Amino acid sequence: MLHDKKTFSTLFLDKLESIRGVSVEDASPDDCYIALAYLIRDQMMKRWTQTALKTYKNEKKKQVFYFSLEFLLGKMLKKNMMSLGLSEVAEEALRGFGLDIEKIYDVELDPGLGNGGLGRLAACFMDSLAVLGIPGNGCSIRYKYGLFEQKIIDGYQVETPDNWTKNGVVWEVKKPKSAVLVKYFGNIRQDEGGGRLWFHHENYEPVIAMPYDMPILGQGNDEVNTLRLWAAESTQQFDYGSFSSGDYLNAVSRKYSAEAISEVLYPDDSNYQNRMLRLKQQYFFVSAGIQSIISHYKKHYGNIRNLSDYIAIHINDTHPALAVPELMRILMDEEGLQWDAAWDITVKTISYTNHTLLPEALEKWPENSFAQLLPRIYMIVCELNERFCTMLSKKHNYDAEHVSRMAIITHGEIKMAYLAIVGSHSINGVAEVHSELLKTELFHDFYQVFPVSQTLSQMRLVMSG
């Protein structure tokens, strides 16, 4: 048993020799961290695969997919050891070698995946799901540099890249077979067939979304959930022709353009290029995540019309609000469902947490730029907006001013919070008092249209033809 000091000591020495090629006498703190982390990781992997087997194949449990632009996880080694109940035996075993476990903990770099309250809430939510034994999956971006590392030099703040992945990440598993393609720009071709319109995305700019999975342990049980992080890769890594002609920058331009999507958390949005990069980021992890969900669902559960019986998608703030039109796109364009059936499934599947009570802080995107970058998604959002505004006018007899106030698209801007509300079956704040203020103040107009007592069967008729 690993809880035995002698066994733990033996396995630790084995890891030092097999992974780092050193004896304990010559091992640096970095060597000891890698050996200890891989020893702990080995204990997690079997539980991880057993959880997946039970969830997907045997019991076919309903799963939660939590989409968040941030996950402020903190250092993983100490937390994982505590969850496995191995902290004391590890400290005792390492002390026997004259090693200070706290110095080994200090070696680990914080994952650069979050910045503040939004990311910490997401990380705590993932921990809670695992502790409660609820099948849960996080979805975000594998930022190469995170936000930034702050240093004070000569009395001034200096921001430098936080390269948290530079030494490799023990806790992640790359899954190339699960990579998907995310499409930007291009044009949409329409044709008719089977009594309906079909939409085809052509001449698009492709980006590979490469998944990296991290295990999230439940304390006191054998549950191990998954945080899936997506890294952007180019479909064309190197243009040999450009390089041979001496055009070295163009030889790698596509590669760096694609990889920029997952380079930095919250790129500076003071210029147009970076604002579009932020929008690219939001669609990138949403599209990749939902494509992955649908693929796994069809493999393990079957009929796409029963999606909401087995899948719950929760969007943490408005950054993943594109989950609404992206799920609609996949259900209609790839699974062949008509609008009403796709909308019924979408609303039943998606829910939304709001993080701000300030109207000026609600995310908006310029309509023209949105349409250029995401042409098919823009078409779906326009259709949603038209149906929603028609419903407000005809069913609720709202005047033009009232309808404009609630419209998803107005004055050349797309309002992401409104898109999330209209496409969700449940909306909440980060606390009970926050939720009450959303109902009475910020989203009062929407609360009157979608009250708490309203049933799903009523809500799904809102946007039907």
With vertex at residue 288, the alpha carbon angle to CA 283 and CA 290, rounded to the nearest 5 degrees, is 95
CB 275 within 8 A of CB 268: no
| Sites in the chain below the pLDDT cut of 70 | 1, 148-150, 159-160, 238-252, 452-465
Closest to 281 in 3D by CA, of 212, 362, 184: 184
pLDDT (tens digit per residue) in 243-265: 556 654 565 677 888 999 999 99
The pLDDT of residue 152 is 75
CA 374 to centroid of chain Cα atoms: 19
Residues across the chain: 465
DSSP secondary structure of 97-140? TT--HHHHHHHSPPPSS--SHHHHHHHHHHHHHHHHT--EEEEE
- 299 contact partners, CB below 8 Å, separation of at least 6: none
CB 69 within 8 A of CB 285: yes
Q: Provide the whole-model pTM.
A: 0.93
Q: How far is CA 331 from CA 114, 201, 209, 307, 462, in A?
A: 31, 15, 20, 10, 18
Helix (H, G, I), strand (E, B) or coil at 174: strand
**Can you list the pairs that 27-33 forms with residues at least 24 positions away whose Cβ atoms lie under 8 Å?**
29/103, 29/104, 29/106, 29/107, 30/107, 30/167, 32/94, 32/99, 32/104, 32/107, 33/77, 33/104, 33/105, 33/107, 33/108
The pLDDT of residue 56 is 74
What's at 346, amino acid-wise?
A: T
CB 411 within 8 A of CB 403: no
Q: Kindly report the backbone phi and psi dihedral angles of residue 422, in degrees, each rounded to the nearest multiple of 5, phi listed first.
A: -65, -30
Cα gap 453→438, rounded to integer Å? 16
The pLDDT of residue 457 is 37
The pLDDT of residue 150 is 66
Helix (H, G, I), strand (E, B) or coil at 385: helix
The pLDDT of residue 250 is 60
